[in-house]
């Protein structure tokens, strides 16, 4: 009999529901047990964040110089530029729309949900702070790329595998329990339903932004590649719906590749751009993370500075290149910049994870479909750069 797989999204939804129910019926000492677990797990997560940055960003930069020269450079620049523009679009839309959805009283929700304290804490100091990890990752990655240090590249490639496995085995499976503890605490203090209602409104807005983003991407690609944007977008719909089911850009590559070829992209260009963009182009994920961050800051009543968010989005685009190909991997890779630039603590990070994962498949579908737009642009630029016969 085939084993039924219970994915991460259903587990997170069940965890949120259980947390709300149990938080309303359990006594304070029982809720404090979960708060204690969350405290220990949160410290462990803080310890891992610098290692995640070094382990994922360093090899991503080191191997960036390897490959197809000009075609690689063009693809990377377009993918990064689109990711950054997606983040800016998300920021401008979120700051315009979210204040009307988040009441003034919501700024007290997270603070009130932290009233219960753990029975004890286990301090696990990180080996370095977030900014030190980022600088180290850039320094090592650029150095290995410049000197083509094969031994160091191999070592950091294996270190990346260790970090990815730690995320997949030690973090992702425990996240639902961690999230359940957060919502149990909120329910005990009487704030959970308000948070959930705000989340539902935010999710609707972010889904609408995904649709607008895809239309903008294909309008730009259609203008450059001289293709009808809506026809090109409709051709990519099988890839979109496949990604909805798999929540994985990598698993959707065969479908994305086939549909990109149907859009008239050269087979060689498609075979290069699609697998590469499955790793480095996460415009939908960047849009979600930016919008969720704006929402949580508004809920806290924290002033949102445009300059700070520009820096956050620029760095987030780099972190998305290094995101591991597991469900929830993008938000795990983004925790470093959320903490280092926006100052998110463990509780805020847990809410970010919960909000992000509830939309994980939609973000992946947006990423994958956008890959087809980039392939159209690169194909046109590549054809124009070829010598005439």
User: What are the pLDDT digits (tens) for 236-257?
Assistant: 988 888 887 666 676 677 788 8
Task: State both tokens at 154.
Answer: 């191999």
Query: Residues, the chain, total?
Result: 389
Instruction: Quote the CA–CA distance of 125 and 117 in Å, as a whole number.
Output: 20
Q: Exposure pattern of 231-255 as b/e (b: 16+ CB <10 Å)? A: ebbebbebbbebbeebbbbebbbeb
Write the pLDDT tens digit of every residue in 346-366. 778 877 887 787 777 788 889
With a cut of 60, say whether residue 389 has pLDDT above it.
Answer: no
Confidence of residue 216 (pLDDT cuts 50, 70, 90): very high
Instruction: Quote the CA–CA distance of 310 and 288 in Å, as a whole number.
Output: 15
Instruction: Quote the CA–CA distance of 249 and 384 in Å, as a whole number.
Output: 29
Instruction: Quote the CA–CA distance of 138 and 213 in Å, as a whole number.
Output: 30
Going by the DSSP 8-state scheme, the letter that residue 4 receives in this structure is P
CATH of 8-385, one of 3.30.70, 1.10.287, 1.10.150, 1.10.3860: 1.10.3860
Confidence of residue 92 (pLDDT cuts 50, 70, 90): very high
Q: The whole model's pTM is what? A: 0.74
Domain ranges, ordered by start, for the chain: 8-385
């Amino acid at each position: 009999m085939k084993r039924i797989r219970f994915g991460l999204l259903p587990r997170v939804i069940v965890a949120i529901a259980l947390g709300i129910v149990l938080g309303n019926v359990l006594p304070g000492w029982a809720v404090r047990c979960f708060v204690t677990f969350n405290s220990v797990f949160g410290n462990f997560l803080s310890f891992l964040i610098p290692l995640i940055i070094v382990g994922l960003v360093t090899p991503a930069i080191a191997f960036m110089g390897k490959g197809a020269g000009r075609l690689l450079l063009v693809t990377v620049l377009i993918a990064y530029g689109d990711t950054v523009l997606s983040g800016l679009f998300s920021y401008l839309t979120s700051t315009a729309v979210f204040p009307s959805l988040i009441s003034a009283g919501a700024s007290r929700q997270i603070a009130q949900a932290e009233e219960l304290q753990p029975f004890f804490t286990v301090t696990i100091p990180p080996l370095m702070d977030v900014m030190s990890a980022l600088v180290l990752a850039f320094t090592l990655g650029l150095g290995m790329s410049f000197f083509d240090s094969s031994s160091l590249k191999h070592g950091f490639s294996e270190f990346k595998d260790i970090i990815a496995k730690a995320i997949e085995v030690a973090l992702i499976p425990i996240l639902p329990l961690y999230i359940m503890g957060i919502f149990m605490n909120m329910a005990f203090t009487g704030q959970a339903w308000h948070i959930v209602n705000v989340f539902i409104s935010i999710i609707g807005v972010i889904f609408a932004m995904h649709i607008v983003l895809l239309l903008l991407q294909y309008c730009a690609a259609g203008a450059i590649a001289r293709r009808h944007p809506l026809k090109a977008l409709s051709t990519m719909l099988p890839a979109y719906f496949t990604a909805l089911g798999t929540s994985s850009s990598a698993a959707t590559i065969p479908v994305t590749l086939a549909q990109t070829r149907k859009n008239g992209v050269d087979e060689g260009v498609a075979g290069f751009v699609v697998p590469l963009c499955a790793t480095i182009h996460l415009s939908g994920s960047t849009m979600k993370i930016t919008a969720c961050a704006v929402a949580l800051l508004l809920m806290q009543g924290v002033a949102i500075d445009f300059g700070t968010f520009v820096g956050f989005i620029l760095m987030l685009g780099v972190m998305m290149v290094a995101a591991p190909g597991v469900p929830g991997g993008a938000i795990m890779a983004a925790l470093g910049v959320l903490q280092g630039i926006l100052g998110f603590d463990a509780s805020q990070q847990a809410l970010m994870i919960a909000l992000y994962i509830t939309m994980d498949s939609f973000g992946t579908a947006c990423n994958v479909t956008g890959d087809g737009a980039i392939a159209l642009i690169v194909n046109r630029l590549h054809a124009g750069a070829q010598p005439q016969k």
